[in-house]
Amino acid sequence: MESLYIGRGKDEDNAKLLAFLDQVFFVDEGEDTRFLELLPKIYKDQYRPAYNNFVVQQPDGTFRAAVGNFDNDMTVGGVDLKTCCIGNVAVGKDQRGRGYMIDLMNASVTDMIERGVALSYLGGQRQRYGYFGYENAGTCYSFGFSKSSLRHAVGGIESGLTVEPLRPDDTEAIRLIDEIYTKAPVISRRSPAAYYDILCSWHDRPYLIKEDGRFVGYAVFNKNMDYVGEFGLTDAALLPRLIAAALETGGRDSVCCAVAPYETEKLDFFTKNASWMNVNHCESVLVLDWKTVLTAYLNAKAAYETLCDGELTVLIHGKAGDETLKLGVKDNAVSVTESDGAPRFELDCLAAVRAFFSNYPADRAAFPPEIRQWLPLPMFFSSRDTM
């Protein structure tokens, strides 16, 4: 019987792994894209892409399957969260139906539990990853403006702003970008050395926003220059001019902007002025440490919204084990403690994600009204931090 290697990839196999992934995902579709161009933040050699994959290899080193496990630690509501994003789930075309994806996903979850990962997330087909405990979660607002709607909303303005491409070696500009970014209550802890590569994820293009030569913000456009997936300003009063600048720079008739649920100044402006809006989930998530994750996101919401006083004891059958937790808010101070009392509600891991973090309302419909006021908690993942 053939002896297969199943485990973390080896650094010397980086190039071979990338060739395998490109062949699985892109060659049959005739795409010119390659993973190194698509996600330089994780596939350059210095980021150890092979090591950050669980793989199945033949004795000659040929890859049969791979599942990426990419750490992306976050700070949420002042709480440091160890997080891990699953990416590049790949099985060779002639190796499918042998259970490799199941084996590697289970190995990934086991490894995360052993390493103390609190939260994992991924993008992919909902039911496919539900078997491993992942469920749709998070909230992302997309607001759209056309040239006409901007004119009617705020007048026929010209931006008066300069939009310049960010240079990879402009460390001072990257520092200023991070200074804006890290003011939010939910952030990924982005490495300065990888910052430019992070902003270029998914073929995105980062730009500096300047007024009279002075830095006033940044914006990350998609490849088509009609979607701004992340942006920040030193002064929210510049928002109308930023939209005008986005339309000027992209040369498009309309532009959409992504906004997180905790970006209250942006939400106020876009709610009053945008031409259209969509609300979507961000990713599918697996919570492995419910006490820490609920503490973090309750703190984050309390940072920008006054929460109703209330208490809730819930038993969650988590992927890493059962947790009976007492959640409380008093005078906008949050507490989440382990409890040996009788839970008022009992949820499996999928239902718990839906109840606390998703836009699906059914699993929290029976919660007391003061508890429903807390929900959904403000989970959000910028596309810059997905894999």
**Which range among 28-32, 169-173, 349-353, 368-372 shows the weakest confidence by mean pLDDT?**
28-32
pLDDT tens column, 10-21: 999 999 999 999
| 359 and 374 share one domain | yes
Asked if residue 269 is part of any domain, the answer here is yes
| 161 and 51 share one domain | no
Asked if residue 49 is part of any domain, the answer here is yes
pLDDT tens column, 261-278: 999 999 999 999 999 999
| 342 and 304 share one domain | yes
Q: Is the pLDDT of residue 379 over 60?
A: yes
| 40 and 72 share one domain | yes
CB crowding 54-70: b at 16 or more within 10 Å, else e: bbbbeeeeebbbbbbbb
Query: Which pLDDT score, from 0 to 100, does residue 158 have?
Result: 87
Q: Is the pLDDT of residue 31 over 70?
A: no
User: CATH number of the domain that 227 lies in?
Assistant: 3.40.630.30
pLDDT tens column, 233-252: 999 999 999 999 999 999 99
Average pLDDT value for the chain: 96
Q: Is the pLDDT of residue 38 over 80?
A: yes
Q: In the chain, pLDDT over 70 holds for what percent of residues? A: 98
Domain that holds residue 194: 140-280
Q: Which of 263, 280, 297 is the last residue of a domain?
A: 280
Query: Which pLDDT score, from 0 to 100, does residue 153 have?
Result: 82
Cα gap 138→152, rounded to integer Å = 32
Asked if residue 387 is part of any domain, the answer here is no
| 190 and 263 share one domain | yes
Q: What is the pLDDT confidence band of residue 149, given thresholds at 50, 70 and 90?
A: confident
| 130 and 162 share one domain | no
Q: What is the pLDDT confidence band of residue 30, given thresholds at 50, 70 and 90?
A: low
Token couple for 111:
């490894």
| 237 and 349 share one domain | no
Query: Which pLDDT score, from 0 to 100, does residue 127 have?
Result: 95
Asked if residue 383 is part of any domain, the answer here is no
Of residues 240, 316, 267, the one with CA closest to residue 143: 267
Q: Which of 96, 116, 136 is the last residue of a domain?
A: 136
Tabulate helix, strand, coil % of the chain (nearest 5): 35, 30, 35
| 268 and 319 share one domain | no
Q: Which of 252, 280, 308 is the last residue of a domain?
A: 280
pLDDT tens column, 186-207: 999 999 999 999 999 999 999 9
For the chain, what is the domain count? 3
| 91 and 153 share one domain | no
| 154 and 255 share one domain | yes
Asked if residue 385 is part of any domain, the answer here is no
For range 134-156, the mean pLDDT? 91
For residues 119 and 319, is the Cβ–Cβ distance under 8 A? no
For range 321-343, the mean pLDDT? 97
| 26 and 74 share one domain | yes
Query: Which pLDDT score, from 0 to 100, does residue 152 have?
Result: 86
Q: Give the angle subtended at the CA of 244 by the CAs of 250 and 157, to the nearest 5°.
A: 140
Q: What is the pLDDT confidence band of residue 213, given thresholds at 50, 70 and 90?
A: very high
Asked if residue 98 is part of any domain, the answer here is yes
Asked if residue 386 is part of any domain, the answer here is no
In the sheet where 345-348 sits, what is the strand order?
A: 333-338, 321-330, 310-318, 345-348
User: CATH number of the domain that 299 lies in?
Assistant: 3.30.1050
CA-CA-CA-CA torsion for 38, 43, 46, 51, nearest 10 degrees?
A: 160
| 201 and 215 share one domain | yes
Q: What is the pLDDT confidence band of residue 157, given thresholds at 50, 70 and 90?
A: confident
Query: Which pLDDT score, from 0 to 100, does residue 27 have?
Result: 72
pLDDT tens column, 49-108: 999 999 999 999 999 999 999 999 999 999 999 999 999 999 999 999 999 999 999 999
Total H helices, total E strands in the chain: 13, 21
Query: Which pLDDT score, from 0 to 100, does residue 28 have?
Result: 62
